Amino acid sequence: MKQRNKRISLFLSITLVCTLTLMNLTGCFIKDKLNPTSEDDEADFEQIAEVNDSISEVKNSKEYLSGDKKAQTELLLKEIQKQAKSGKIKSDSIICDEENHIISFRYSNGVLGFDKGSTFDNELDNVKDSPKFITGDQLFPAKKDGKKADAVILNAMTDRTNVMDTCKKLADEWSTSGINTKLDDTVTLDDLVSLREYEFVYVKTHGRYASFSGSDGKIPCVSLEEKKNKKTDKKYKTDIKKNNSVGYCTDNTYFITPDFFKAHYKADDLSGSIFFFGCCELMGAHGSKVSTHWEKVLKKLSVSAFVGFYNSNHTYYNLDLVTSFMDHLIKGDTAKEAFEKATDECGETDITWYQKKYGKKPDDIDVDAYPILKLNEKATLKWEDGENSDSTQTDATTGTTVKSLTNDQALKAITNYIYINYPEIKEYVEDKSNENKAPCYWDIDEEESNDTTAVVAWRSYTAAWTYYYIDRVSGETKTLVYPPHLTK
């Protein structure tokens, strides 16, 4: 750690105090001076909203709502071409996938956009009852003594009550089994860059396999329910306008491409984790080869294994499948063993699942959707020793033992906070092209840290120092900022 000049008064420092809860570091927003939004940027984002609003008007019209899928696609294409004539969409970027009823394009500033047509998988969602869990051995065995793991369920299908209820049930059951499970029913861009702490991630969102002009082949996109807003447009401006890893659905929600993960995580950030994507078409769609986009990115980030679907899968099929898959992981099976047992119990495709469940073939499912397991088939759920995973303190008032943050947990939390609120810093740190650039780093300050407070010191490339004083029990954090050339 750096040399300190104790003679300089702390009163000369600029003191900022904010409260960070380590379970939700995105809650405290600090203005990002490194990534300002220009008037041109604001005009671009406003124009995108205008285009989307015009398309939404068409989708709410009687003519659209009364038409079949072909007629609806034709109406949308006509409106998108009208927007292109007005200069708000690049005319040479419009691609209409009539077979899958997807129209993709680029707005006038090059940002990705697509219209998802009717509800992503409503043609597969004719079952109205909740998923019926697999019978047989009791699911979710008792908690492993002295062991723990963390999981998150990212559910963006909040419009479907049965899905919400089932996800809540899964979270409760997994927690009972020693899997500390967070249920996230917002699924924002911030949420998607905060997955480092989890051993298991279940992504329950919509998805599409779409073509974009200037891109090499189709790209599997994951759609969110987060609505476009000025704050998020600004924070992720680089992803939206430069990297094209974030785009807009025409209902003014965001979607991401695999490059979004590549931009916000580095090697080993997701080491040992297992992902289960409940999204449609993550691995491709009929008429195309199996996509390797997500496989390549997740492999670079050291994800142990992941499951994704080829074609549009039935909502309740993948809920049943993840239930069984996780059950066998908890029991100690490898990813391959858990996958094979889950597909044997639930069915290898959504059509066989439907036949197994209802004794007949569905009327409105023409193409099978099936899950694919990728990466390390021998991967297992990573359990930690419960006794050592968290340190403890004795509360002076009550005499009870409470969980206490370790230095590693505090450092990891501050790293997440910096990466989320200062994406330009993440790019700066990871850019290895300039060996002579000013240093920028952060670490635990061992001299200042003690039993009650963890201290993280951040040296900015401007030579300013920021100190985060984190209460190990409450997570409350005080921040001291020292301008360049002023040392502590």
In this predicted structure, what is the pLDDT of residue 315? Answer: 86
pLDDT for position 96: 86
User: What confidence category does residue 397 fall into, taking pLDDT thresholds of 50, 70 and 90?
Assistant: low
Handedness of CA 413, 416, 421, 422 (dihedral sign): positive
Is the pLDDT at 141 greater than 50? The verdict is no
For the residues 461-479, what does the mean pLDDT come to? 86
Angle at 355 between CA 153 and CA 136, to 5 degrees: 60
| pLDDT band of 333, cuts 50, 70, 90 | very high
Q: What is the pLDDT of residue 117?
A: 62
Q: Which of 343, 325, 300, 342 is nearest to 380 (CA)?
A: 325
Which one, of 193, 112, 208, lies nearest residue 154 by Cα? 193
Q: Are 212 and 95 in contact (CB under 8 A)?
A: yes
0.75 surpassed by pTM = no
pLDDT at site 261: 95
Q: Which amino acid appears at position 474 of this protein?
A: S
Please, which pLDDT band fits residue 300 given cuts at 50, 70 and 90?
A: very high
pLDDT at 415 over 90: no
Q: What is the mean pLDDT of residues 8-21?
A: 36
Predicted confidence band of residue 35 (pLDDT cuts 50, 70, 90): very low
Nearest to 69 by CA among 123, 113, 105: 123
Least confident of 47-61, 77-91, 429-443: 429-443
CB contact at 8 A, 206 and 120: yes
Report DSSP state, residue 347.
Answer: -
The confidence score (pLDDT) of residue 1 equals 40
Helix (H/G/I), strand (E/B), else coil: 430: helix
Q: Count how many residues are written for the chain.
A: 488
- Is residue 140 predicted with pLDDT exceeding 50? no
pLDDT of residue 22: 43
Task: Please enumerate in sequence order all residues whose Cβ is within 8 A of that of 3, keeping only pairs 6 or more positions apart, or say none.
Answer: 487
pLDDT for residue 215: 75
Percent of the chain with pLDDT over 90: 29
- Greatest pairwise CA separation for the chain in angstroms: 81
How do strand 274-277 and strand 305-310 relate by DSSP bridges? Answer: parallel
Range 260-277 burial, b when 16+ CB lie within 10 A, else e: bbbbbbeeebbebbbbbb
Q: Which two tokens stand for residue 378?
A: 């021998």
Q: What tokens were used for 42?
A: 């604001």
Contact 60, 451 (CB under 8 A): no
Beta-sheet pairing, 384-385 with 200-204: unpaired
Cβ(125)–Cβ(315) below 8 Å: yes
